[in-house]
C-alpha cells in the first residue's frame, strides 16, 4: 500500500450563535482551504429539515465549489436517490462534469437523510422508491456513462463522466456496489465503525469487475479532530459529544460551543455514552490522530480515508485538517 490519501466530508453544520447561511458559506471556504492542503476529494452531504446539518442540495453547493477550485475532486456523499428521478440526477451531474471536467464524484445513498414525514414530502412514493434503489443505480450508471439509455440522452454529453460511488453503513450497500462493480464508501462515523470490517470484506469477496473499475475501490469516512495538544482536541470534541448524546434522546439543534457544554456537564446516565465515544474517537494531536488513521487504513487495506470534522470554532476545524495533512504527508511545506 502506498502513501495514504486523505479526503473530506463536510456536512454544513449549523453553529449556535450563527446562521444556516453561515454554515453553507463556511463549507465553500473550507473546500478551497482543503484543496490548498492537498486533500484528494471534498464531498458534501444531503440532509433535510434538520436544525444541525443544513446542507440540503449538494449539487448546488458542488457547483459553487467547482467555480472556486481547480484540482480537488468534488462529490456528493451523497445524493439520496429515492427522492429523485435518476435521469434528473444524471443531468445535474453531467452539468457539474462540464463545469469541472474529470473532477466529479456522484455518491448515492438509499437512506432518506431526514424523517419519514419529510421524505414523503420530497417523494410521496418514498417507501416504494427505496425498494427500487438498485434499478435507480443501474439507470444512473447508464445515463452518466453512455450517450443514450432507453433512447434518451442525459445532456450535456462530454468526454468525461462522473464517478459513481455507493455509500452505506450496512452490508446492503456493500453487496450492491460489489454486484455493479462500483466504488464503495462505508460511513464509519455513523456507529463508530460497527459493521465496517464485515461490510468491506463482503464488498471485496463479492466484487464483480467493471470496465471503469476492474478492481474493488473502497474507503471509509471517519469523524476525527486534531489540535496542537490532545487536551485542546478533547475540548473541541465536547461539542459533538453533546450533540450525539442529545440526538440519542431525540433532541436536535445547532452545535454548542465547548464552554457551554462544559458548564452544563453530562448527567450521570449520559456518561456511559460519552465514555464509549471517547474510547473509539479519533481525537488528539495531529501526529496521534494521523497514526490512528494510518493504522485503520492498514487494518482495512485502504489507500484513502475520508475525514469528517465538527467543531464549534471554524478555525479549530481548519487547524485540524492542516495538522492531519502535514502529519500524514499530503501537505506541501507551504500549505
Report whether pLDDT(1) > 80. Answer: no
Note the pLDDT tens digit of each residue in 17-46: 999 999 999 999 999 999 999 999 999 999
Q: How would you classify residue 251: left for phi > 0, otherwise alpha for psi between -120 and 50, otherwise beta? A: beta
Is 333 inside a domain boundary? no
Give me the sign of the Cα torsion angle 21, 70, 221, 177. positive
Q: Is 282 in a helix, a strand, or coil?
A: strand
Is 182 inside a domain boundary? yes
pTM score of the predicted model: 0.96
Of 125 and 265, which is predicted with more confidence? 265
Mean pLDDT score, 138-154 = 94
Is 152 inside a domain boundary? yes
Report whether pLDDT(89) > 50. Answer: yes
* Neighbouring-strand partners of residue 75: 43, 105
Give dist(CA 38, CA 45) in Å, integer: 21
Domains: count for the chain: 1
Is 244 inside a domain boundary? no
Give dist(CA 91, CA 83) in Å, integer: 15
Give dist(CA 162, CA 103) in Å, integer: 8
* Neighbouring-strand partners of residue 7: 306
CB 62 within 8 A of CB 89: no
Is 321 inside a domain boundary? yes
Is 272 inside a domain boundary? no
Weakest-pLDDT range from 128-142, 234-248, 307-321: 128-142
Query: What are the grid coordinates assigned to 288, written together?
Result: 496521534
Query: What are the grid coordinates assigned to 305, written together?
Result: 480515508
Instruction: Pick the closest to residue 165 from 193, 187, 147, 148 (CA basis).
Output: 187
Query: What are the grid coordinates assigned to 141, written together?
Result: 450508471
Query: What are the grid coordinates assigned to 330, written together?
Result: 499530503
Is 236 inside a domain boundary? no
Query: What are the grid coordinates assigned to 277, written together?
Result: 465515544
- Residue 190: how many other CB atoms lie within 10 Å: 16
Domain range spanning residue 141? 5-229+285-328
Note the pLDDT tens digit of each residue in 168-221: 999 999 999 999 999 999 999 999 999 999 999 999 999 999 999 999 999 999
C-alpha distances in Å from residue 285, one per residue of 188, 199, 235, 288, 299: 21, 30, 12, 5, 21
pLDDT more than 70, % of the chain:
98
Give dist(CA 148, CA 135) in Å, integer: 16
Categorize the per-residue pLDDT at 2 as very low, low, confident or very high, splitting at 50, 70 and 90. Answer: low
The mean of the pLDDT values for the chain is: 95
CATH code at position 202: 3.20.20.30
Note the pLDDT tens digit of each residue in 52-68: 999 999 999 999 999 99
Is 109 inside a domain boundary? yes
Amino acid at each position: 500500500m502506498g502513501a495514504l490519501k486523505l479526503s473530506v466530508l463536510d456536512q454544513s453544520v449549523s453553529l449556535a450563535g450563527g446562521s444556516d447561511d453561515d454554515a453553507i458559506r463556511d463549507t465553500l471556504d473550507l473546500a478551497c482551504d482543503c484543496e490548498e492542503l492537498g486533500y484528494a476529494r471534498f464531498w458534501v452531504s444531503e440532509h433535510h429539515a434538520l436544525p444541525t446539518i443544513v446542507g440540503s442540495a449538494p449539487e448546488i453547493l458542488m457547483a459553487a465549489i467547482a467555480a472556486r477550485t481547480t484540482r480537488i475532486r468534488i462529490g456528493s456523499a451523497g445524493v439520496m436517490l429515492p427522492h429523485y428521478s435518476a435521469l434528473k440526477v444524471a443531468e445535474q451531474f453531467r452539468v457539474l462534469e462540464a463545469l469541472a471536467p474529470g473532477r466529479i464524484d456522484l455518491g448515492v445513498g438509499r437512506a432518506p437523510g431526514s424523517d419519514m414525514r419529510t421524505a414523503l414530502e420530497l417523494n410521496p412514493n418514498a417507501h416504494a422508491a427505496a425498494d427500487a434503489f438498485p434499478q435507480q443505480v443501474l439507470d444512473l450508471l447508464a445515463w452518466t456513462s453512455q450517450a443514450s439509455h432507453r433512447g434518451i440522452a442525459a445532456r450535456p454529453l462530454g468526454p468525461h463522466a462522473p464517478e459513481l460511488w455507493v455509500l452505506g453503513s450496512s452490508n446492503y450497500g456493500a453487496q450492491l456496489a460489489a454486484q455493479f462493480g462500483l466504488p464503495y464508501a462505508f460511513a464509519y462515523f455513523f456507529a463508530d465503525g460497527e459493521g465496517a470490517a464485515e461490510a468491506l470484506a463482503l464488498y471485496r469477496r463479492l466484487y464483480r469487475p467493471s470496465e471503469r473499475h476492474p478492481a474493488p475501490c473502497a474507503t471509509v469516512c471517519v469523524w476525527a479532530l486534531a489540535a496542537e495538544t490532545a487536551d485542546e482536541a478533547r475540548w473541541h470534541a465536547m461539542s459533538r459529544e453533546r450533540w450525539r448524546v442529545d440526538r440519542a434522546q431525540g433532541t436536535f439543534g445547532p452545535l454548542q460551543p465547548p464552554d457551554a457544554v462544559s458548564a452544563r456537564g453530562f448527567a450521570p446516565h449520559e456518561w456511559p455514552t460519552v465514555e464509549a465515544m471517547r474510547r473509539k474517537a479519533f481525537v488528539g494531536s495531529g501526529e496521534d490522530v494521523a497514526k490512528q488513521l494510518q493504522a485503520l487504513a492498514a487494518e482495512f487495506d485502504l489507500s484513502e480515508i475520508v475525514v469528517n470534522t465538527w467543531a464549534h470554532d471554524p478555525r479549530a476545524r481548519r487547524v485540524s485538517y492542516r495538522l492531519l495533512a502535514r502529519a500524514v504527508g499530503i501537505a506541501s511545506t507551504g500549505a
